[in-house]
Amino acid sequence: MIFNVSSIIEKLRSPAFSIFIILLFHVSGLIGLQTSSRNWFIDLTPLNLLVSFIVMIRHENYKNTSLYLCGLLIFSAGFFLEVAGVNTGIIFGAYHYGPILGLKIFNTPLLIGLNWFTMVFCVGVLLEKTKGTIWLKSIIGAGIMTLSDFIIEPVAISFHFWTWEKTSVPLQNYLAWYLFSLLFLLIFFRFRIDKTNKVAPWLFVIQIIFFLSLNLLI
């Protein structure tokens, strides 16, 4: 049997294969978190987030200056927003990050800035083809992002990604999430970047299903 190497390589580079890799990581994590190796899988969270981001962004067709500027702006804004939130308790409420999410500067994991950009990018691409103005897309997208935070919170607290000083997540957190998600999405839609990434919407859907499943299992 003669293999067409170029054809195989092309398939490995396809969006479908990348979506499969992301799905495989999350399914493996979901299973692993129910075993005696639970803590080991929790410690792999930063790797999962980084790999998912890299796999997603490599399918961006036009990696131009606008993409880099948009990414840097939302990454920086998201990170320093969290820095202010953690160190003052004014924005989201009183909380602090645990060690799971990796290297911290000013008591805030650098990975949080990347997570803000990843979520904004995924939701922005998801809504790009819908009808409506930038404002309407951003308003809807901010609602989707806030709902996703509502789904993530119980899992993040259980796995000690972060901890709230009060026993329950304050309403203030969700209001702040909505307002800043709205702002970041408005910024995203203003940039002239390619918004046809085929992997980004699937990454968001897989992550939401992953956290919904964990909510039922923890």
3 state DSSP class of 199:
coil
pLDDT of residue 132: 87
Instruction: Output the DSSP codes for 27-78.
Output: HHHHHHTTSTTHHHHHHTHHHHHHHHHHHHHTT-S---HHHHHHHHHHHHHH
Which residues constitute the domain of residue 122? 5-217
Which residue is listed with tokens 């799971």? 100
**Torsion angles phi and psi, residue 77, rounded to 5:** -65, -45
pLDDT of residue 10: 57
Q: pLDDT at residue 1 above 80?
A: no
Average pLDDT over residues 123-136: 91
Q: pLDDT at residue 7 above 60?
A: no
pLDDT of residue 8: 42
Q: pLDDT at residue 2 above 90?
A: no
Number of structural domains (the chain) is 1
Q: pLDDT at residue 207 above 90?
A: yes
pLDDT tens digits for range 102-126:
999 999 999 999 999 999 999 999 9
pLDDT tens digits for range 134-175:
999 999 999 999 999 999 999 999 999 999 998 789 999 999
Average pLDDT over residues 190-217: 92
Helix (H) or strand (E) holding 163: strand 162-164
pLDDT of residue 84: 96
Q: pLDDT at residue 127 above 90?
A: yes
pLDDT of residue 12: 54
Structure confidence at residue 4 as a pLDDT band (50, 70, 90):
low
Residue pair 158/126 in contact (Cβ under 8 Å)? The answer is: no
3 state DSSP class of 166:
coil
pLDDT of residue 130: 86
pLDDT of residue 184: 97
Distance between start and end Cα atoms, the chain: 48
pLDDT tens digits for range 39-95:
899 999 999 999 999 999 988 887 888 999 999 999 999 999 999 999 999 999 999
pLDDT tens digits for range 170-202:
999 999 999 999 999 999 999 988 888 999 999
